[in-house]
């Protein structure tokens, strides 16, 4: 799997992200085929990207350990739900103490339905109660989504989706919670 890193913003930028409130951190691009060849890529990539994003923090290692947890959970979901060909793009931006991760990936219709449902569930009111109920009485087939739900219910991440019309791609935006320079939420 090869990764291309870009330090400058990768066009086209969402209008909102062009605002000066957002600061580009890094972008990475890789093929679905290379990524999906091995489950271990999620772990390796999450750690690598988290370390890069955390480079200037007071405690970069601890900050990276926390970010890796979030990035890995998202990558694991992507690993299980993507179209067979195309490229995956990740863009990390910063707004104050928040890191926002945009991931754009090729999807099938089935994948699209999955992500729409995930975003819908994550944004429901009283998510915490819903998440606890799933832990107490897990239903079949929900496990692959629970990772994302945990990010929202336990760590207060937010998840949104953007679907450009007429494309077999979609973007997920994971806004990570405010994390201080020591890696504390």
Partner 1 sequence: MPVALNMRLTGNEEQEVTLTGTLRPFVADEMASVRSSLEQAARTTRGTLCVNLKRLKYMNNVAFLELNRFVRWVAHTRPGLRVKFVISSVIPWAVRKFQVIAELYPFVTIEVYDKAFYPIQQVIEDDDFMNVLRTQQKIIWEHEREKLAWHGLRPGLRIADICCGLGDFAILLQSDFRPEYLIGVDHSKPFLRYAWQLVSDFGLENIEYQYGDAAALLLPDNSFDFVSCRLSLQVFHEPDHIVNELYRICRPGGRIYLTNEMMSGVTGYPNEEVIRHGYIRFLELCRRVGMDLDIGLKTRTILHEVGLEDIKICLLGITNMNTAPHDFARVVESWLRTAKQMAATANAEPELYEDVSAGLTAHIEAITRDNGFAMWPIFAGSGRKPFRIS
| Cβ–Cβ under 8 Å, residues 75 and 45 | yes
3 in contact with partner 1 (CB under 8 A): no
**Contact flag: residue 33 with partner 1 (CB under 8 A):** no
Residue 109 lies near partner 1 (rule: CB under 8 A): no
Among 146, 160, 168, 169, binds partner 1 (CB under 8 A): 146
Tell whether residue 143 is a contact of partner 1 (CB under 8 A): yes
Out of 29, 31, 52, 65, which residue is the one contacting partner 1 (CB under 8 A)? 65
The closest alpha carbon to 64, from 38, 90, 45, belongs to 45
CA 151 to chain centre: 10
Binder among 138, 162, 167, 178 for partner 1 (CB under 8 A): 138
Nearer to partner 1 (CB atom), residue 66 or residue 105:
66
What size, in residues, is the chain? 185
Considering the complex, what minimum distance in angstroms separates the CB of residue 15 from partner 1?
33
The correct pick among 22, 28, 35, 68 for binding partner 1 (CB under 8 A) is: 68
Beta bridge partners of 88: 30
**Exposure class string for 106-126: b at 16+ Cβ within 10 A, else e:** bbeeebbebbeebbebbeeee
């Amino acid at each position: 799997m090869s990764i291309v890193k870009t330090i400058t913003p990768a066009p086209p930028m969402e209008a909102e992200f062009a605002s000066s409130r957002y600061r580009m951190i890094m972008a990475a691009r890789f093929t679905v085929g290379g990524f999906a060849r091995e489950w271990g890529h999620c772990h390796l990539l999450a750690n690598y990207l988290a370390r890069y994003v955390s480079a200037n923090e007071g405690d970069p290692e601890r900050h990276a350990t926390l970010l890796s947890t979030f990035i890995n959970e998202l990558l694991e979901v992507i690993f299980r739900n993507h179209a067979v060909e195309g490229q995956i793009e990740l863009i990390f931006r910063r707004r104050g103490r928040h890191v926002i991760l945009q991931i754009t990936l090729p999807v099938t219709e089935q994948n699209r339905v999955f992500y729409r449902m995930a975003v819908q569930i994550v944004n429901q009111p009283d998510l915490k109660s819903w998440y606890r109920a799933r832990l107490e009485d897990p239903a079949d087939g929900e496990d692959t989504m629970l990772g994302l739900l945990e990010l929202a219910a336990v760590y207060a991440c937010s998840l949104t989706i953007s679907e450009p019309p007429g494309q077999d791609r979609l973007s997920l935006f994971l806004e990570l919670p405010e994390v201080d320079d020591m890696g504390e939420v």
